[in-house]
């Protein structure tokens, strides 16, 4: 999992804001208020090392209200985008 979009402490760490390209910072800001396009998510996940992000090895705890079918849809969508 990518570091928290808010950038605060916890959530897997990652780079300081100065080390992240402006285009990625803009994308993370957009992600706070709107869904990212499949290609934007794929770019972040495919190039996480270039953007100095870290991935968590453990599954995150789902917050209340997050529906499992939404996670299945996102997983299926990403698999199709990569294939």
Show pLDDT as tens, one digit a residue, over the chain (83 residues).
444 444 443 444 444 555 788 888 898 899 888 888 989 988 888 888 888 888 788 877 766 666 666 777 777 777 777 76
Q: Which helix (H) or strand (E) holds 73?
A: helix 68-82
Asked if 48 contacts 24 with a C-beta cutoff of 8 angstroms, the reply is no
Please say whether the dihedral angle defined by the alpha carbons of residues 69, 14, 38 and 42, taken in this order, is positive or negative: negative
Q: What residue numbers bound the domain in which 29 lies?
A: 17-82
Within a domain: 59: yes
Within a domain: 65: yes
For the whole model, what pTM was predicted? Answer: 0.49
Within a domain: 64: yes
Say how many domains are in the chain. Answer: 1
């Amino acid at each position: 999992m990518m570091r928290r979009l808010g950038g605060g402490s916890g959530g897997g760490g990652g780079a300081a804001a100065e080390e992240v390209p402006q285009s990625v910072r803009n994308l993370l800001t957009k992600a706070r208020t709107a869904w990212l396009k499949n290609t934007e998510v794929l770019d972040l996940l495919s190039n996480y090392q270039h953007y100095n992000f870290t991935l968590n090895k453990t599954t995150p705890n789902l917050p209340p209200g997050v529906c499992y079918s939404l996670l299945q849809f996102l997983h299926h969508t990403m698999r199709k985008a990569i294939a």
